[in-house]
Every structure is written in C-alpha cells, then in structure tokens.
Structure 1
Amino acid sequence: MPAPMQRYFVGLSRDTFLLALSSMFADISTEMLYPVLPVFLTQVLHASGSIVGLVDGFAQATQNIVQGFSGAVSDRLQRRKPVALIGYLLAAFAKPLMGLATVWEALFAARLADRIGAGMRSAPRDALVASSVAEADRGRAFGLEGLGDNAGAFLGPLLALLLLYGVHVELRSVFYLAVIPGLLAALMVVLVGERPVEIAAKARIDVNWRRFPVRYWKYLLATAVFAAGASSNAFLILRTRDSGVSLEATILIYAAFNLVAALVSYPAGALSDRLGRRNLLLTAFMVFLLTYLGFALTANIAVIGALFVLYGLYQGMFRAVGKALAADLVPQELRASGVGWYSTTVGLLQLVANLVAGLLWDRIGHAAVFYFGAISAVAGVLALVILVSADMRRSG
C-alpha cells in the first residue's frame, strides 16, 4: 500500500478491514434482491401490493427488534464473533429459500429468517468494529465499515441488472446466486480475531437498560425525534418513478446514491474523530432536510435524480457517525447492547415513519411525505443541539 494511502488508513487494524469486507459482501447479497423482490412477489407469486408492504414491513421490524437483543446476548456471553457468524450464515442461506418459494407465505417466512440473521449479526459486528481500533480511531473504523456496507449496496443492484438484462438469467436464479456473496461475508468474519473484553458483563440477557448512562439516553431521544420522519428509501424510489424515470434508470440512480454514501462514509468517520461526532451528525441532518424539501417542492426529473444522489451524503455520514457516538457513550462491556439498541431505536422509528408516510402518500399527497420528514429533521436538529453536547464522548 502506498505511503499516502497508509497514512489515510492509519490506526485501522486487519480486523477492521475484514469486517468492512463482510459488510460489503453481505450488502451485495441483500441489495441484489432489493429491486427484484417486489417484482417476484407480484409477477411470479401473484401477491397484491398490500402483501408486498406486509412482507417488507414485518421483515424490517423483526430485524430491528432482534438487533437489540442480539447485542445484549453477545454482551452477556462476552463473545461477539459467534453470534455475528450465526447471523451471517442464517441470512445467506435464507436468500435461496426465498427463490424456492411458490407461495408468498413461504417467501415471507424465508424473508423473516433473512432479517433475523441480519439483526443477529449487526450489533455484535459493530462491537467487533469498535474494539478493533483505539478509541481515537473509532470514527474511522465505523466509517470504513460504512464504506464497505454502502459499496455493497452500490454493487448489489448493478449485479442484479447485469444478471437480469446482461446474462438474462431467470428471476429465481438471482435469489440462488445471492447466497455466494452472503457466504463470502461469513468467511470474512471467520478470519476476524476477537479481542477479550476486560470487564465481565453483569447484565442479564434481556436489555441492560438500567446500566446505560443518562447521556446515552439523551442521544437516543434526539435520534428518535429525527428518525420519526425518516421514512425508508422506498418513498424516494416511488417519487423518482412518479417523476417519469424508468425502472432501469431508477435502479441506476439508487446505485449512484449508494456509491456516494460509500465514498462519504470513511471520510465522515475520520472527520468525526477530529471535529466531534455531533457536528457531523448535525451536517447529516441538514442534508436530509434539504433533500426532503427538494423532493417535496419539485417533480423535475433531473433535479429529483440529483437530489437522490445528494441524499447519499446523509446516508454515509449518519451510518458511520451515529453508531460511533453510540459506542462512545456506553461502557466497553455493554458496547454491543448500546449500539444494538441505538440501531433498534432508529429502525423502529423508521417503521413508524413508514406507516405515517404511507398514510400521507395515499390520503393527502406525495409531497406531504417529504414535508413531514423535513419537519421531523428540524425537530431532530434542535433536539441534537439541546440534548447532546459537542464533546459528548466517553473514554474507554
């Protein structure tokens, strides 16, 4: 590795890079299916649109709930790697099971298994990321992991397009082939060396809530206020399609969004190590606010495409810096729980945001979804400034 590149990644360990690769391969596996899953449900299994919403809504909610408990389990066992590895393997083998489904109920069951696996691996993997470096480089570590995750999210849709329109494989075959990057993700985790935690966990396997410090709860509250209006990317995709963009072009725009997020993740994490986590999060919230206002105010194809790609700045910063700050604010022996319940909070509030967004989309108007998100972003900015100090970090 050239000297300038070595300096850029100074402080990161071999395990940090392996964990970033595991996130990349896992997201390739998942995002290969993102653009084809609704098509498979409706055109092959003849499910209705409401069934599509049911499957995705329950799957995401299941993942979010499992994340918190998997973190608590790994803290209790003081073993991150085995819990994460089981999650990676479960998610990998669930992909071809979805492709084998002949009725939507079977796909629903496989999709739940996939998201249970994703939820199981998330918190213990993030704890491994946090412990793979010194505290001063934690933002860099989460930034690199976010780079891997978002790079996978960029490559996955492109790979699906290549398979479907370049190689002309059948739709079911995409599900079967998704197991390959899923297993590569598990292999990366196998190669990670887990460091023992110096302090034994005294919490039960359930929640560990009472052991979290007050400033962690303040941060969680500020995050929840913001996330209440942060609906999923599905509404950005729907708005893009509404503006007249073709499905193929929409998938390419979505891939470009993930590319921007990937490129931003590591620099954002590194900057948060020097400038402070809160300042970078405020920047992410402001990017979200501007993007949602733009989606509410215009239907111009070029502007919509540009805004969607710009949204990648928010995605890259929020993913890397948000988790790093959550890891800063809890004791080392409860780090997986702290990051897990942070992720659960974000996910469950996004589920609420999606339900509200769906009602606004159907009953008031498409722009109302984005006005609501912008209002929530303003509230989130205020909550973050009031509740979270600029130097709110914990040593150790």
Structure 2
Amino acid sequence: MARLEIHPYFAGLSRNTFLLAFASLFADISTEMLYPVLPVFLTQTLQASGSIVGLVDGVAQAAQNIVQGLSGSLSDKLQKRKSIALAGYLLAAIAKPLMGLSTVWQGAFGARLLDRLGAGARSAPRDALIASSVDEKDRGRAFGLEGVGDNAGAFLGPLLAVFLLYAAHVGIRPIFYLAVIPGLLAFFMVLLVREQPAAAAAKSKIDLSLRRFPKLYWRYLLATALFGLGNSSNAFLILRTQEIGTSLETTILIYAAFNLVAALISYPAGALSDSWGRRNILLASFIVFLIAYLGFAVMKNIVLIAALFGFYGLYQGIFRAVGKAFAADFLSDHLRASGIGWYSTTVGLLQLVASVVAGLLWDRIGHTAVFYYGAVFAVVGSVGLLLLIPNGSFSVRSDAV
C-alpha cells in the first residue's frame, strides 16, 4: 500500500486514507449544508406539516441504517469495495438537486430517501477500504483522519448554508442545486483511491449467517447497543439549547462549533487508541457523554450550555473514530465490510429507538428526563463495555469464531 512522505504525526497513513478523508469532508459539506434548509423547505415551500418532516427524516435515516449492513455484505460477497462506495457517493450527490426540484413533499421525500440510501451504501465499503489501506497498528489513526474529514464537513456545511442564505441572499432551491458540487468532489476523491487486491475469492451468494463473526465481535455489539439505547438524536440537544432562549443563528453556530471540536479530536483519539487501547479511549467517550447529558439536564445558562455542547463534541469525535476501528479489530479482511456495516446499522437503529423514547419523554414527562435517561444508559453501556470486552489489543484470525 502506498505511503506518503508526510509529517511524523501522520506516519503510517497511506494516500488512500487521505483521499477517503477528503471524500468524507466533501460529502458531509454537501449533506450538512442542507441541514438547516430541508425542514424550512418542506414546511414553507412545499407546505408540509411537522409530522411529514418527522416522517421524511425518520424513514430516510432508518433506510440508511439498514442498507449499511446489506451493502457491507454485498461488498464482502463480491470482494469489491471501491465500486460500491462510488455508486453510493454518486447516488447521494445527484439526489441533492432532485430535492430542490421537487414541487410536492412526496418528491422531496423520494429524493431524500435516495440520498440516505446512497450514504448507507457507501459507508461500510469505504470503512473497509480505510481498514485495508493501513497496517493494523495504525488503524485508529486512519479512522481518526476520516473522522476529521466527516466532522469538519459537518462544521463547514451549516456555515456555508447560513452564508448563502443570509449574506449571498441565495434562495432555498438553489442551495440544493449547489450541494451537488461538494457531493461530486467526494465522488472524484474515491475515484482516485487504489483498491487493494482481494485476499479471498468472491462468494457465490451473500452470506448473512450470524456464525461468520467472532464471539468478541458480538459482545462488542452488545455493549454498543446497551449504550445506544440512551444515545438519542442530537436534535434534542439543539432543542434544549433553543429552549433556554438561544437564538436560531446562535444555535446554528453552537452546533457548528460542536462539529469543529469533534473534527479536532478525531485524529488524536484514533492515534491514542492505537497505543492506549481502543476500549480505554471508547470508555472515555462514554464518560464524556454521561457528563454532558447530566449537564444538559441541570444547566440553563446559555454560556454554560454552549461550552457543554462543545465538550459533547469530544464524545462525537472519539466515538465515531474509535468505535469503527474497534469493530474492525475483531474481523478478518473478508468479513470487514459486512462487520463494520452491521456495527453501523446497530448504532443507527438503536439511536432511532432512543430518539423515539426521548421524544415521548420530552412530550409526556419533561425535557430533562431525556438527558437523565441518556445518562443512565451511558452508565449501563460503560459497565457493559468493561464486563464484555477484556482490555488489550486484538489480533484478527480468519477463522475466529
């Protein structure tokens, strides 16, 4: 695998890892520049109700979560990563202007579904490309670098949308058209990736048997699921921030700062997990989550909430980078895409469950109940991680069961 002559801090990373990090950067700019726009577009331009907004986002996100595991299995079956990832990036890119062209909410719904299907299809093959592009000892750094790109895109996207809407006075529909540009740049970054030769022959059919994966992988998935039961959508943190009197513009800036912190911590967290152990760093992210949720439950000062939101960005950056790298540690190369895909599916679907529960708590019991609920499962997940996963590094065997 090709190595670049780069600063020692990035030692061990390959050309592919930088290309894939840039792909995540541009893809997230494309997606997140629509984050503050789509609900307004649906309700004000297409005259959809609030329940329709929830339906559009909920179904699209659920579809993305499910297709991640399926695309990973397909990638392992074909032993092809790049071509499936490319298809996903292209589908997500062209779906953006299709949303803007819609004249009824059903059209926007269909385009949003295509967008999330593309995002789900590309995720697991891309992560398998990242894992195969570096030595095992540098895997945390590789996923950390990808996390930098992803979270930096999530930071820049909303800021770009705010600039286009309020400074450049661009209309809402053109925002969707412009979002195709970074989406296509992401596609071209992956086009330049050099895929490593397959280590195993393609299988005659997609094998969905649960027995393929090692026991430690399933124990890790269980610990992740226990934590995920309380890991609801970040939308509740945004709602809590606005609830205490923060303006919309300030809330967007706070959200952007949260993504910036996540971007800045991703690579150091991944690098530390290579030397200190994945479990230790992942446990630290759970503790950050616990502190942040307890703080959101009790604090009502705007400055403190803003600082807490930024602190929560540490969790976001660490969990994304180290969680996937840890999942990859348990898997041999010919199972890596499907294993990481089902890990991502678990995280996504449990977040959907947690968000439904959080919504009921928000409406029927009280807003602070959402954060106490999340804090409880942060403790449960932390205990589960300590009990289910022994400390230390894991060397992957192809016959591990």
Give, in whole Å, the separation in 2 of the partners of 1:4 and 1:304: 42
1:183 and 2:176 equivalent? no
After TM superposition, list the pairs within 5 Å mapping 1:146-225 onto structure 2.
146-200=147-201, 202=203, 204-225=205-226
CA contact under 8 A between 1:129 and 1:142: conserved in structure 2? yes
User: How much has 1:204 moved relative to structure 2?
Assistant: 3.7
Report the TM-score, using the length of structure 2 for normalisation: 0.96
Give the equivalent residue in structure 1 for 2:309.
308
Give, in whole Å, the separation in 1 of the partners of 2:77 and 2:6: 38
Give, in whole Å, the separation in 2 of the partners of 1:372 and 1:392: 32
Report the TM-score, using the length of structure 1 for normalisation: 0.98
After TM superposition, list the pairs within 5 Å mapping 1:15-54 onto structure 2.
15-54=16-55
Give, in whole Å, the separation in 2 of the partners of 1:279 and 1:128: 25
Q: Deviations over 1:170-221 (max 9, x none)?
A: 0111111000000000000000000012123548425242210000000000
Give, in whole Å, the separation in 1 of the partners of 2:228 and 2:288: 14
Matched to 2:233, the amino acid is S
Give, in whole Å, the separation in 1 of the partners of 2:204 and 2:354: 32
Matched to 2:52, the amino acid is I
Give, in whole Å, the separation in 1 of the partners of 2:224 and 2:300: 29
Matched to 1:243, the amino acid is I
- Distance of aligned partners of 1:203 and 1:385 in 2 relative to their CA distance in 1, 3 Å threshold: farther
User: How much has 1:392 moved relative to structure 2?
Assistant: 4.6
RMSD over aligned Cα atoms: 1.3
Give the equivalent residue in structure 2 for 1:365.
366
CA contact under 8 A between 2:13 and 2:138: conserved in structure 1? yes
CA contact under 8 A between 1:208 and 1:337: conserved in structure 2? no
Give the equivalent residue in structure 2 for 1:335.
336
Give the equivalent residue in structure 1 for 2:285.
284
Give, in whole Å, the separation in 2 of the partners of 1:335 and 1:144: 19
**Which secondary structure does the structure 2 equivalent of 1:306 belong to?**
helix
CA contact under 8 A between 2:331 and 2:396: conserved in structure 1? no
Give, in whole Å, the separation in 2 of the partners of 1:188 and 1:337: 23
Give the equivalent residue in structure 2 for 1:228.
229
Matched to 1:326, the amino acid is A
Give, in whole Å, the separation in 2 of the partners of 1:303 and 1:125: 37
Give the equivalent residue in structure 2 for 1:97.
98
User: How much has 1:103 moved relative to structure 2?
Assistant: 1.1
Give the equivalent residue in structure 1 for 2:63.
62
1:132 and 2:133 equivalent? yes
**Which secondary structure does the structure 2 equivalent of 1:272 belong to?**
helix
- Distance of aligned partners of 1:208 and 1:182 in 2 relative to their CA distance in 1, 3 Å threshold: farther
**Which secondary structure does the structure 1 equivalent of 2:74 belong to?**
helix
Matched to 2:183, the amino acid is G
Give, in whole Å, the separation in 2 of the partners of 1:177 and 1:208: 42
User: How much has 1:5 moved relative to structure 2?
Assistant: 6.2
User: How much has 1:4 moved relative to structure 2?
Assistant: 11
Give, in whole Å, the separation in 2 of the partners of 1:245 and 1:231: 21
After TM superposition, list the pairs within 5 Å mapping 1:238-249 onto structure 2.
238-249=239-250
Give the equivalent residue in structure 2 for 1:261.
262
Mark the runs of 5 or more structure 2 residues left unpaired by the alignment.
none
Give, in whole Å, the separation in 1 of the partners of 2:150 and 2:29: 8
Q: Deviations over 1:147-174 (max 9, x none)?
A: 0000101110110011001101001111
- Distance of aligned partners of 1:136 and 1:203 in 2 relative to their CA distance in 1, 3 Å threshold: farther
Mark the runs of 5 or more structure 1 residues left unpaired by the alignment.
none
Aligned residues: 394
Matched to 1:96, the amino acid is P
Matched to 2:392, the amino acid is D
Matched to 1:227, the amino acid is G
Give, in whole Å, the separation in 1 of the partners of 2:184 and 2:94: 8
CA contact under 8 A between 2:78 and 2:203: conserved in structure 1? no
Give, in whole Å, the separation in 1 of the partners of 2:213 and 2:244: 46
Of 207-216 and 69-78, the range deviating more from structure 2 = 207-216
**Which secondary structure does the structure 1 equivalent of 2:7 belong to?**
helix
Give, in whole Å, the separation in 2 of the partners of 1:250 and 1:377: 25
User: How much has 1:394 moved relative to structure 2?
Assistant: 2.5
Give, in whole Å, the separation in 2 of the partners of 1:61 and 1:213: 26
Matched to 1:190, the amino acid is L
Structure 1 residue runs of 4 or more that deviate by more than 3 Å after TM superposition: 201-204
Matched to 1:297, the amino acid is V
Q: Deviations over 1:14-50 (max 9, x none)?
A: 0100000000000000000011111111111111111
Give the equivalent residue in structure 2 for 1:345.
346
Give, in whole Å, the separation in 1 of the partners of 2:170 and 2:85: 32
CA contact under 8 A between 2:229 and 2:354: conserved in structure 1? yes
